[in-house]
Amino acid sequence: MQDTELFLSLAEIAGVFIGFGALIAVRSGSTSDVFEVTGIVMVVWGAIQVVIAALIPVVLSRLGVTGHPLWVVCSLVALAIWWPGDEVVARLSPERKAYMAARPLKARWRQEVVFAPIWVLMNIALIIVVLGLLPVQEAAIYLAAVVLLLLMDALMLLMVVVRPPMAVTEPTPPS
């Protein structure tokens, strides 16, 4: 595979994001700010997705998988960690549940306006590869999808770093 070094570099960049997330978490101590905790979790989760998506083609190509089967498996793995993986993270994180419950719908829509074009294009790219619509460009399309995921993670990290804390407490259950 000709893009091995490029994929390894993307995984390294994502690893730096994981490190930034850990550094923010440690510097913040035992923060109770739901936005900050949720943001850090999402940055780290996004970076982990990039690492996995970037390393899958490297590992599979070393095992002798090439051509369309390589990019189909990589795309299916990327889609699997994006959709079901995100749902698992959402269900396991009490801070994310509290954040979603406390965050006004208008604010969530503004955030989606930033992220939706990126994740929609990423998913379209992966689906194009799975369906084999552009077989000659599959490697480039898959690479573009991984770069889009990294871009989205970088924007999430930026939001965590530059946004003032949001004082939200967990919603109290009805009596």
With a cut of 70, say whether residue 2 has pLDDT above it: yes
Is residue 64 assigned to a domain? yes
pLDDT for res 114: 83
pLDDT above 70 as % of the chain: 86
pTM of the model: 0.82
| Residue 133 DSSP SS3 | coil
- Residue 168: which pLDDT band, with cuts at 50, 70 and 90? very low
Query: Contact, 157 vs 24, CB < 8 A?
Result: no
In a domain, 169, yes or no: no
**How far apart, in Å, do the first and last CA atoms of the chain sit?**
60
Element (H, E) at 169: none
CA 18/CA 30 separation, integer angstroms = 18
Tell me which of 115 and 2 has the higher pLDDT: 115
**pLDDT over threshold 80, residue 115:** yes
Residues 144-160: pLDDT tens digits? Answer: 999 999 999 999 888 87
Q: Is 92 part of a structural domain of the chain?
A: yes
Q: Which domain holds residue 99?
A: 4-162
Count up the domains in the chain and report the number. Answer: 1
Residue 28 reports pLDDT greater than 70: no
> How far lies 115's CA from each of 52, 58, 60, 122, in Å?
20, 27, 30, 11
Please report how the helices 67-92 and 138-162 are oriented relative to each other, as an axis angle in degrees rounded to 10.
20
Task: Let me know if residue 55 belongs to a domain.
Answer: yes
pLDDT above 60 (res 174): no
Q: Mean pLDDT in the chain?
A: 84
Residues in the chain: 175
Q: Is 172 part of a structural domain of the chain?
A: no
* Of 44 and 27, more confident: 44
- Classify residue 118: in a domain, yes or no: yes
Residue 40 vs residue 142, higher pLDDT? 142
What pLDDT score does 5 carry?
A: 87
171 found inside a domain? no
Q: What is the mean pLDDT of residues 10-38?
A: 74
Residue 167 in any domain: the answer is: no
Is 80 exceeded by the pLDDT of residue 169? no
| Whether the Cβ atoms of residue 170 and residue 98 lie closer than 8 Å to each other | yes
* The dihedral sign for the CA sequence 7, 9, 14, 15: positive
- The CA distance from 133 to 103, in Å, is 40
pLDDT digits (tens, 9 = 90+) for 40-66: 888 888 999 999 999 999 999 999 999
Q: From CA 93, how far away is CA 95, in angstroms rounded?
A: 5
Outline where the chain has alpha helix (H). 4-28, 34-62, 67-92, 94-102, 105-131, 138-162
